[in-house]
Structure 1
Amino acid sequence: MMADKKEGYDLVIIGAGPGGYIAAIRAAQLGLKVACVEKDAVLGGTCLNIGCIPSKALLESSHKYAECRTGLKAHGIMVGETSFDLATMMGRKDEIVKTLTSGIDYLFKKNKIERFTGAAHILDGLKVRVTGEKELLLTARAILIATGSRAAGLPGVAIDGTHVVSSTEALAFAAVPKQLVVVGAGAVGLELGSIWHRLGAEVTVVEYLDRVLPTADRDMSKHALRIFKKQGLKFLLGAKITGIEQAGEGCRVNISGKEPLVAEKVLLAAGRTPCSQGFGFEELGGRIDKKGFIEVDSHWQTSLPGIYAIGDVIGGAMLAHKASEEGVACVEYMATGYGHVNYQAMPSIVYTHPEVASVGRTEDSLLEEAVPIKTGIFYFKGNGRALALGESDGLVKVIAHHDTDRILGVHIIGPQAGDLLAEAVVAMEYGASSEDLARAFHAHPTLSEALKEAALNVAKAAIHG
């Protein structure tokens, strides 16, 4: 059967996650004729459907439940016996996802972006074959790969979706597991571990490295571990898993040099792997590195002329907003000859309670490069707004260049850390000094005063610290 031909596109995008769909909208705004191919029936990719958004919905629901159980008494609020309806929580989560994904549908129509559902395969001559309900052949002046990533496994360990699960299944449990072993102490593991611990699971987090949040500033990692232990999460750090086997209705997790753990469910949250194969790029001679990431230049151009790639599939921080910014910059470069992403001002947030947020460099990485630095720290226990909220555990750390005072990194663990970080991101984007941040007005009483105090403390001038 002959494929229907659709020609004349300026850009065909493969993948409708936060990289692909935002790139499509921006390209359309710039006057390009755009088509977007997505294998799933709904738009939004991992982030909207089985990642960022559903996890935040469940984090919020589980936090409210935990607060009712243990957090209101200090405010003089007495409640009776509390319970929760997991099906209602899941329904709320699904409704939020539906609202957002249908919103992307609307934006595609508004911006006259043609959407095709099916598997994409890149052919020679900047053509894309789409295999869905019917076969289509799209031709374009350029192709943008935004295929994202998937949960990584462990050698010799298979995800069966029932006993050994990925984040996808862990966001849709029909019941709270009695015991949950989380493999990986990064953002995904700690967020999902927090959800199910609040709802009653006994959670043990197993991490191969010697600390939680291994890419975070070491001060944040230490403080976070103390807080999470206090909340009741259990940790095995510096632990190597040698195998996972089914044991009755659950699993036995074997760990080198330690007693095995028995759990009803095991969540593999040990990173993600790029979706870089199976759609023709490699077969055409496109370069992929040893870890499976598509190689690109500074303008996201791959080794194949006219084919670009962004987001998780090219490596770097696997964050939705990183993919989005790359998508915008990439299509702006196609249309105008200029597009740029400042990776040094890229924020990263872990949505536990309290949140852990950072932008820029860590102290360890700067010291390894012998960069002369000075630091300022301020604890939320000295912040009036944090005390009023009853959330005074945490700190802000500002790192500046010793000679120029330019801000090199800001790290926060504490209430609403992700929102507080936005100020630091803008400051770094504009090359601000710690003194610039310290001398700017910060309303009283607000949590943002903690950032001001940490910036003041770079010069050992904190007022309340």
Structure 2
Amino acid sequence: MSHYEEYDVVVLGSGAPGKLLAWTLASQGRRTAVVERRYVGGSCPNIACLPSKNVIHGARVASYFRRGAEFGITNGDWKVDMAAVRDRKRKMVAGLVAFHLEKYRESGAELVMGDGRFIAPKTIEVTLNAGGTRTLRGQTVIIDTGSRARMDDTTGLAEARPLTHVEALELDQLPEHLIVLGGGYVGLELAQAFRRFGSRVTVVERNGALIHREDPDVTDAIEHLCRDEGIEVLTRTAVDRVEGQSGESVRLHTGHGGIEGTHLLVAGGRTPNTDGIGLEKVGVETDGKRHVKVDERLQTTAEGVWAVGDCAGSPYFTHIGEDDFRVVLANLTGGDRVTTGRQVPFCLFTDPELARVGLSEREARERGVGYRLAKVPMEAVFRAQTLSETRGFLKALIEEGGDRILGFTAFGAEAGEVMAVVQVAMLAGLPYTALRDAILTHPTMAEGLAGLFSSVPRG
């Protein structure tokens, strides 16, 4: 075997859980190295969560220009400059990368830029971006290789060179007609953003509804939002074949005919980055979806090797990756923490937002869990009226025969922030009456929780 360098900890990939583990363990005196192929800090600060929300906010500002008369502002000449939108995003990303590099310097963790793969147990060979190779061996190895946009095998799709979210966030020209293949989180957020910038947008979804796993009132509300904004929505529409080139002219053939546009965005889910990194050589097993197999402590099937984040099959959210960090850190430093039973909050960053934590009605019925339903429209929330943002609703599931909050859904302005209030109450085991009777500041969006929980039917 070639000469290798000894480390206490080697992390393959620099996403949220991996970098946090590296910074923390290095600060505690452990010799730590992180191998990263391209994006310092992983996808979230570079090409995913934060850049997309930056662009989405720009689209929201554009929507206010269009609504100017509603707020007593006389409309004048204005236009969207996509190059400036992109540059604002790039400036933010550059600042985030600089922040990450400083964290590496402060912590003492070594950042190794290159393509890493296992060549022996707990041993990673790195083909360096700058040329040459290094071989790193760790007493502990953590796999944090993340995921990428999934491209299915539809005839002609790959040849059409469609956009993923990565390329869409780098556009400096506005698509004339953007076709979005997939009605999930990424597809809906970017569909609304590009529509607000001025593109014609069509969303194509093979299932019977957008974000089809949610409750019918949620999926209906999201579809109405899209249609009201001028987005064409085609559900129950499977694509058989794709012709042309995205960025020029592209045509999707479906059972209902053809759909023609200038750009195609693929937003049909994600696949883990576990291929080509030598897992099979070192006894690290994967499941049927190519996620690394882990137990409730995120240990893999190979001794001394852990896996975190998307590649380990954790829910594909940065905040869950950050909790994976806490799970592994506890187990590496003498504690005992597991992934089972943890809350998984989520937020769809359309405008307005959709946020949920705990059980939906669909999930409660599937599990045979009895519940009482409380639901109020956003127009009943005074703060929403002051903002002229009354679309949506708040709803909560309360256990039958008790006061425990089982789940909460908000579709409306600042939904993600309001959800956090309910989530903390759920984590603390507070009865719904605690929020019902709380003195909440007037007028705020969270004040709507008092009205929501006051409407809970008697048990």
TM-score (norm 1): 0.93
Could you say if the C-alpha distance between residues 214 and 26 of structure 1 is closer, same or farther in structure 2, counting changes exceeding 3 Å?
farther
Deviation of residue 159 (structure 1)? 5.7
Runs of 4+ in 1 over 4 A off after TM superposition: 157-163, 341-344
Deviation of residue 29 (structure 1)? 4.4
State the percentage of identical aligned residues: 29
Q: In the alignment, what sits opposite 1:59?
A: 56
The code of the aligned residue for 2:127 comes to: T
Match of 2:388 among 387, 390, 397: 390
Q: Is the 8 A contact 2:384 2:413 kept in 1?
A: yes
Q: Is the 8 A contact 2:160 2:244 kept in 1?
A: no
Deviation of residue 272 (structure 1)? 0.2
Deviation of residue 342 (structure 1)? 6.3
Q: In the alignment, what sits opposite 2:107?
A: 111
Q: In the alignment, what sits opposite 2:78?
A: 82
Q: Secondary structure at the match of 2:16?
A: coil
Could you say if the C-alpha distance between residues 123 and 163 of structure 1 is closer, same or farther in structure 2, counting changes exceeding 3 Å?
closer
Q: In the alignment, what sits opposite 1:98?
A: 94
Could you say if the C-alpha distance between residues 303 and 158 of structure 1 is closer, same or farther in structure 2, counting changes exceeding 3 Å?
farther
Deviation of residue 276 (structure 1)? 1.0
Q: How many residues align?
A: 456
Match of 2:241 among 221, 240, 243: 243
Deviation of residue 439 (structure 1)? 2.1
Deviation of residue 341 (structure 1)? 4.2
Q: In the alignment, what sits opposite 2:152?
A: 154
Q: Secondary structure at the match of 1:228?
A: helix
Q: Quick one: distance in 1 between partners of 2:240 and 2:321?
A: 34
Q: Is the 8 A contact 1:400 1:433 kept in 2?
A: no
Are positions 1:129 and 2:125 aligned together? yes
Q: Is the 8 A contact 2:121 2:282 kept in 1?
A: no
Q: Quick one: distance in 2 between partners of 1:220 and 1:382?
A: 18
Q: Quick one: distance in 1 between partners of 2:63 and 2:402?
A: 45
**Which has the larger displacement, 89-98 or 308-317?**
308-317
Q: Quick one: distance in 2 between partners of 1:430 and 1:27?
A: 30
Deviations along 1:440-462, whole A, 9 cap, x unmatched?
2211111001223222222469x
Are positions 1:429 and 2:427 aligned together? yes
Q: Secondary structure at the match of 1:77?
A: coil
Deviations along 1:160-218, whole A, 9 cap, x unmatched?
59752211111112311111110111110001111111111111111111111123333
Q: In the alignment, what sits opposite 1:288?
A: 286
Q: Is the 8 A contact 1:344 1:359 kept in 2?
A: no
Could you say if the C-alpha distance between residues 150 and 247 of structure 1 is closer, same or farther in structure 2, counting changes exceeding 3 Å?
closer
1:356-367 superposed matches below 5 A: 356-367=354-365
Deviation of residue 336 (structure 1)? 2.0
Are positions 1:68 and 2:61 aligned together? no
TM-score (norm 2): 0.95
The code of the aligned residue for 1:107 comes to: K
1:436-455 superposed matches below 5 A: 436-455=434-453
Q: Secondary structure at the match of 2:98?
A: helix
| Structure 1: gaps of 5 or more residues | none
**Which has the larger displacement, 107-116 or 153-162?**
153-162
Are positions 1:252 and 2:248 aligned together? no
Q: Secondary structure at the match of 1:336?
A: coil
Could you say if the C-alpha distance between residues 282 and 125 of structure 1 is closer, same or farther in structure 2, counting changes exceeding 3 Å?
closer
Q: In the alignment, what sits opposite 2:4?
A: 5
Q: In the alignment, what sits opposite 1:274?
A: 272
Deviations along 1:87-115, whole A, 9 cap, x unmatched?
11110000101111110111111111111
Deviation of residue 226 (structure 1)? 1.2
| Structure 2: gaps of 5 or more residues | none
Q: Is the 8 A contact 1:217 1:411 kept in 2?
A: no
